[in-house]
Amino acid sequence: MFCLRIALPSPKGKEKAKNMADLQPTCPTPWTWAIALDGGTTNTRARLMQGDRIIATARRTVGVRDTLLADPARSGTPPPTAGLASPPGQPHRARLIQAVREVLDDVSRADVLSASTARADDPSGARARIESIVAAGMLSSEIGLVAVPHVEAPAGLEELARGVAIGHFPEIVERPIYFVPGVRTATADGPDGWFQADLMRGEECETLGAYAALRARGELETDRWQVFLWPGSHTKLVEVDPSGRITRSQTSLAGELLQALARHTLLAASLPETLPDQVDHDIAAVAARAVESQGLGRAAFLVRIAALGKIFNPSERASFWIGAVVADDVNNLTRHPILMPGRPVWVGGRQPLRSLYAARLVERHSGIVVPLDDSLAESASAWGAMQIAGRRFQFDGPLDHPGADQPIPDHPD
């Protein structure tokens, strides 16, 4: 399954361009044309960018979970080290490699680039030259394409840029690929201190991209601590200090739990084959009450009770199940010190999770809770990745010169 979206010229082009300019962060990149790759647990995306503007998006429903499940050893065979070409073998990575190649091909096609040059009022209509490819998310993990070490929090634009590495994958694309590192939250003191350890790959780009855009729009108070919440296959709660650095995070597997129980347990007989994109918020609120009084395990079984008792139809039962998982996740997240009273929370991710998490947080958190608009939620990852790679470019120029293959430990004087 795949999708390709192209931003074509329209009669309202000038007005739309103005609106997009209002949205974009003030973070110019050194490239006119670039591609931002984002690989997650279940999806792989490519976004064609002209400066800060996203021209086209392509997606495949293939992620690193497919790599892990296809690995005969189920041990996460390490991918090539940053700076090395991908070795032969490792057939369990074939689907991921194919997905990356296909999304890159989709957004690099001549007709896509022709449409985008027309949007840019280029009278020549010449095919644009892709100057850089930047990859983020799980593509830089040990079950992705190239293993890039995490940067330890606190980490902002500068620290992440120093950790950028490069990979060469001629079976995917001739041009080298910038790989953005993730962020690691260290363990705390004490025997249970490891409970506070955390990892992220991809959300650091979403967070920095959204932070820059909100700051440019004057919607974010830069002298305050901020919190970003990114629901998806994994839910990521991210803390940002007043200087714009990620200081720590907290992760749950709520999204994968939601899908796994819906597909691979008795619940499958009571739920539609595909969970809906639209959720009944009233029924989700009923699920939240069930979780509050009886716990998530009992709420899960109530899906079957609702089916046998004909209390809800299949779509409503799906709303109940999704609402139950979200409610349980938020109940646990609000106990974390990141969500200390009064802090503003910005909620991203895709719908319907974005609105569901925001609605539940409003009931449980004393600070303001703001769901990001669709455009910013969709674009934040690409903008953040380009900021990070662009900053690395400022350190030492293009990464295709000798000696630029590895992360750099310190900012050069």
- Kindly compute the dihedral angle of the four CA atoms of residues 256, 259, 264, 266, in this order, to the nearest 10 degrees: 130
Question: Measured between alpha carbons, how far is residue 162 from residues 71, 279, 408 in Å?
Answer: 32, 42, 5
Q: Using CA atoms, how far apart are residues 334 and 398, in angstroms rounded to an integer?
A: 43
pLDDT of res. 40: 85
The predicted-structure confidence for 17-62, as pLDDT tens digits, reads as follows: 334 444 455 556 778 899 999 998 888 999 999 888 899 999 998 8
Show the tokens assigned to 245. 């650095």
pLDDT of res. 117: 57
Confidence check: pLDDT of 320 > 90: yes
pTM: 0.84
Q: Using CA atoms, how far apart are residues 95 and 67, in angstroms rounded to an integer?
A: 7
Q: Using CA atoms, how far apart are residues 82 and 86, in angstroms rounded to an integer?
A: 10
- Quote the Cα angle for 232-238-239, to 5°: 165
CB 129 within 8 A of CB 33: yes
Confidence check: pLDDT of 137 > 50: yes
CB 145 within 8 A of CB 135: yes
Spell out the residues 6+ positions from residue 132 whose beta carbon is closer than 8 angstroms to its own: 31, 34, 35, 175, 178, 389, 393
Q: Using CA atoms, how far apart are residues 204 and 226, in angstroms rounded to an integer?
A: 14
Closest CA to 274 of 293, 290, 258: 258
- Quote the Cα angle for 24-47-31, to 5°: 65
Spell out the residues 6+ positions from residue 195 whose beta carbon is closer than 8 angstroms to its own: 188
pLDDT of res. 336: 97
β-bridge partners, 35: 48, 133
Q: Using CA atoms, how far apart are residues 334 and 364, in angstroms rounded to an integer?
A: 7
Strands 151-152 and 183-185, by their bridges, are parallel
Length of the chain: 413
Show the tokens assigned to 269. 């007989």
Confidence check: pLDDT of 91 > 80: no
pLDDT of res. 393: 82
Mean pLDDT calculated for residue range 112-138: 67
Helix (H) or strand (E) holding 283: helix 281-294
CB 139 within 8 A of CB 146: yes
Band (pLDDT 50/70/90 cuts) for residue 160 is very high
